[in-house]
Amino acid sequence: MTTVPGRLVLLGHPVEQSLSPTFQNAALRHAGLPLRYQALDVPADRVDETLRGLRATRGAGNVTIPHKRVMFERCDRRTDVAERAGAVNTFWHDDEGRLHGDNTDVPGFADVAAPLLLASRGGVTPPTALRVAVLGAGGAAAATVVAALDRWEGCEIRLWSRSLERARALAARFGGAVGAVLRVEDAVGDAALVVNATPLGMLDDEMPCDPLLIRDGAAVVDLVYRREALSRRRPSTAWSRAARERRTAWVVDGLPMLLAQGAHAFQRWFGVTPDATVMREAVWGSRR
């Protein structure tokens, strides 16, 4: 990026539960940058008006549910990763006022899943025919698929969603390595890496699949986290806790990925890597 942002925001609806302001503001302070990251609750019918204001102030920031797709459409320029994911979660303006979009969920997911998978395999590099199960067929599922295809050459990805049609449509964007399945057990049963990319678990009620379906020793990434149940000792959702207790030690909830995608976004806005420890500790500090 060429222009230091005049404003830094999170666009979503709702946004009050977001942890992004907590760790981004800590990173800004630590880096000595005189900006404040602000969460803006923007309903769908106010996205364009908000973007006009952000263009005038050289605004940059993140995008969360439900605006990642509309932001993709509004951007003048998109990174290759955002193109393939079909969604934008990080944006900024250049000197000419053009709106740029990236998808840092992709490297954020890879940063978290790759070491977890390696650890689950006792440090042995994953095989070329690595099996990955992705539950869900929305924007986060697409980001996960892009990351997996880039990271693990020759991997096979099985998508399961409550709508087979939507899972098929997502699979069709990526070619033969990605297939849609009707039954969740056909995705999860022999997968070495299982990813929850649905919102199930946010309310601590339903689980994306029966944890008993997960193969012994598989790595499990739940993109969901429950803010009120965050703990340094165990993952915060019922599904990820159950997976850890029953089958495997290689389980994380959505917090590590949230921090990782935020660090990649910070790098995009300012050209410098933020302090990961400062960001993480800001989250834990906010819980005291």
Among 27, 28, 71, 140, binds ligand NAP (CB under 6 A): 140
Among 20, 79, 103, 161, binds ligand NAP (CB under 6 A): 161
- Residues in the chain, total: 288
Q: Is 137 in the site for ligand NAP (CB under 6 A)?
A: yes
**Among 7, 68, 244, 264, which one carries the catalytic annotation?**
68
Count helices and strands (H / E) in the chain.
Answer: 11, 12
- The 10 Å Cβ neighbour count of residue 41 is 13
Contact positions with ligand NAP (CB under 6 A) in 178-197: 197
Rounded-to-integer distance, Cα 110 and Cα 200, Å: 21
CB burial class (10 A; 0-12, 13-18, 19+) of residue 191? buried
Block residue for tokens 């993140």: 62
Rounded-to-integer distance, Cα 195 and Cα 256, Å: 14
Contact positions with ligand NAP (CB under 6 A) in 65-124: 65, 105, 108
153 is catalytic: no
Contact positions with ligand NAP (CB under 6 A) in 203-242: 223-224
Indicate the residue among 120 and 198 with the shorter CB distance to ligand NAP.
Answer: 198
Indicate the residue among 137 and 147 with the shorter CB distance to ligand NAP.
Answer: 137
Indicate the residue among 26 and 252 with the shorter CB distance to ligand NAP.
Answer: 252
Rounded-to-integer distance, Cα 250 and Cα 120, Å: 6
Helix (H, G, I), strand (E, B) or coil at 4: coil
Among 133, 257, 265, 282, binds ligand NAP (CB under 6 A): 257
Query: First-to-last CA distance in the chain?
Result: 36
CB burial class (10 A; 0-12, 13-18, 19+) of residue 122? exposed
Helix (H, G, I), strand (E, B) or coil at 63: strand
Question: Least Å distance between CB 224 and ligand NAP?
Answer: 5
Indicate the residue among 93 and 171 with the shorter CB distance to ligand NAP.
Answer: 171
Among 60, 63, 116, 141, binds ligand NAP (CB under 6 A): 141
Q: Is 139 in the site for ligand NAP (CB under 6 A)?
A: yes
Q: Is 261 in the site for ligand NAP (CB under 6 A)?
A: yes
Indicate the residue among 2 and 17 with the shorter CB distance to ligand NAP.
Answer: 17
CB hemisphere CA count around 110 (13 angstroms): 16
What is the binding site for ligand NAP (CB under 6 A)? 65, 105, 108, 136-141, 161-163, 166, 197-200, 202, 223-224, 254, 257-258, 261
Catalytic center residues: 68
